[in-house]
Amino acid sequence: MYLKRLLRDERGSVGLPIRMVVLTIIGLVGFAAIVGSISNAPAAPRPMYAVANVSSFTLPDGSGDTPPLLMTVFDNDDNPIGGANVVVWGPSHSAAAGGVTDSGGEVVLQVANISLSVGKQEGYLSIKVMADGYMDYMDGYVVKVVKT
């Protein structure tokens, strides 16, 4: 009996279609706002890398200046990156040199007065490259330094 009375009672369904339309519109507006904010998100930074024109050099007595180092910065598609900030420092972290790459992705750096730690016969130059739209690149073993 309760079921028959429930099926004949229309009070619960009055206004239901308009409520469904309003809630659907509100849901679509919210969905459009979410999709719009996702599409306006900044692009993820891309990877890059740097190479030197030499793989190693020697230092008499374990101290002195580096030869001119031609550093070239590329993206992952091997396109040169211009306007990248490049910093190179010596094995003891006491001397550094920096510059900005040209349109061909190249910069020439020379680190003055580098030295190897006492008792060490070899060490490495380190590099850090920074550019807008790219992830920072660091390499602690970019060029080997050998004491003669």
* pLDDT, block means (10 residues), the chain with 148 residues: 66 73 93 87 90 93 89 96 96 92 97 88 95 96 92
Rounded to whole angstroms, the Cα distance separating 50 from 46 reads: 14
Residues 65 and 21 in one domain: no
pLDDT of residue 3: 66
Handedness of CA 29, 32, 33, 34 (dihedral sign): positive
Counted domains in the chain: 2
pLDDT of residue 118: 83
Residues 27 and 94 in one domain: no
Q: Give the list of residues 6+ apart from residue 81 with CB closer than 8 angstroms, or none.
A: 48, 73, 74, 75, 101, 105, 131, 134
Say which CATH number the domain at 81 has.
Answer: 2.60.40.10
